[in-house]
Amino acid sequence: MDGGRRAVPAVSIRDVAEKAGVSPGSVSNVLNGRRSREDEIGLAVLAAVKELGYRPNAMASNLRRTNSRLLGVVIPDFRNGMHAGLVSAFEHRAAQEGYRIVTVSSRNDVDVEATEIDELRCWKVAGLLVVPACQSSLDVQTYYSDDTPIVLVDPSSSVDGIDSVGVNHAHAATSLIADLVARGFSRIVVLHPAIHSPVVGRRIEAIRSFAGQAADQCRVEFAIYPNELETVGPLLGDLLKMDGMPTAILALDRGSTIFAMEFLCKRDKPIYLAGFDAEDWMSHIGMDAEFVRHPMDGIAAEAWTLLMKRIEGKTGPVAHIDVPCDWS
Q: Is the pLDDT of residue 11 over 60?
A: yes
Read off the pLDDT of each residue in 207-229 and give the average, rounded to a whole number: 88
Residue 135 has pLDDT above 90, yes or no: no
144-190 pLDDT per residue, tens:
656 789 999 988 777 778 899 999 888 999 999 999 999 999 999 99
Q: Are 104 and 120 in contact (CB under 8 A)?
A: yes
How much is the pLDDT for 82?
83
What is the per-residue pLDDT for 199?
A: 86
What pLDDT, on a 0 to 100 scale, did the predictor assign at position 211?
Answer: 94
The span from the CA of 65 to the CA of 76, in Å, is 26
Q: 227 Cβ partners below 8 Å, 6+ apart?
A: 193, 194, 195
Read off the pLDDT band of 133 (50, 70, 90).
confident
User: Over 90: is that where the pLDDT of 303 sits?
Assistant: yes
Which domains, from first to last, does the chain contain?
13-52 (no CATH), 60-167+296-327 (3.40.50.2300), 169-293 (3.40.50.2300)
Residue 50: per-residue pLDDT:
83
- On the question of pLDDT at 134 being above 80, the answer is no
Q: What is the distance between the alpha carbons of residues 8 and 97, in angstroms, rounded to a whole number?
A: 41
Confidence check: pLDDT of 100 > 90: yes
Contact 138, 159 (CB under 8 A): yes
List, in order, residues 6 or more apart from 260 with CB less than 8 Å away. 191, 232, 236, 249, 251, 273, 275
Q: pTM of the prediction?
A: 0.71
Q: What is the DSSP letter of 10?
A: P
Distance CA 64, CA 55 (A): 17
Q: What secondary structure letter does DSSP report for 126?
A: S
Region class of 7: left (phi > 0), else alpha (psi between -120 and 50), else beta: beta
